[in-house]
Amino acid sequence: MAARAHIYSGQGFSLQRDKNRFVLPNPIRATVKESSGGKAVLCLAKHDRWTCLTGFGLSRVDDFAAQIAREEETALKKGVDFDRDLRSMQLYGFFEVPFDGSGRFVMPEHLASLANIEGELFFQGAGEFFTVWNPDELASMPSGLEFAQAACANLRAKETAKAKKG
């Protein structure tokens, strides 16, 4: 029996809070924890093309070798170069970040700088992983991500208004 795939869907938004912590949205948090074998461990890495991060649970690492092989085969069929070492470093170069029962975690500074993250995060489910954006970076992306941009703007406005009331 094959293991059930862990799928990340939906969106979330977090303002940076006390002690420089952000909060993983509930649906994403539950999937990360399940994917990490019940451990409160979030894996974060730089997206290979966009100025954002990718997030996932530990079980996704089991699929990296097959993913690299598929990508290499596709590149060969298309007659384009494929740097297996670079792709391996991109995939396996993730950083494990612990989070508490409420989903609070501290964003490592080196990852924040790679994605231009400051005091806000937008989370977008993407199937086998999710993306983590600085809302301004997402807003500057070309066409194709309008659904995420609209969700981000809406959630940002709601969270900012809620923070001003509190």
Q: Average pLDDT of 97-121?
A: 96
Q: What is the pLDDT of residues 17-31, one digit of tens each?
A: 989 999 999 989 999
Tell whether the model's pLDDT for residue 13 goes beyond 90: yes
Q: Global pTM?
A: 0.91
Quickly tell me which residue has 């092989």 as its tokens: 69
Residue for token digits 């019940």?
A: 38
Q: Which residues pair with 159 in a beta bridge?
A: none
Q: Is the pLDDT of residue 2 over 70?
A: no
Report the pLDDT averaged over residues 101-115.
Answer: 96
Name the H helices within 13-145.
Answer: 26-35, 64-78, 84-92, 109-114, 135-139
Question: Alpha-carbon distance 5 to 75, whole Å?
Answer: 25
CATH code for the domain defined by 11-60+94-165 = 3.40.1550.20
Measured between alpha carbons, how far is 100 from 23 in angstroms, rounded to an integer? 9
Q: Residue written as tokens 């406005």?
A: 157
Quick one: average pLDDT of 141-145? 93
Residue 126 in tokens: 């993407």
Q: What percent of the chain has pLDDT over 70?
A: 97
Residue ranges of the domains in the chain? Answer: 11-60+94-165
Distance in angstroms (rounded) separating the CA atoms of residues 131 and 103: 16
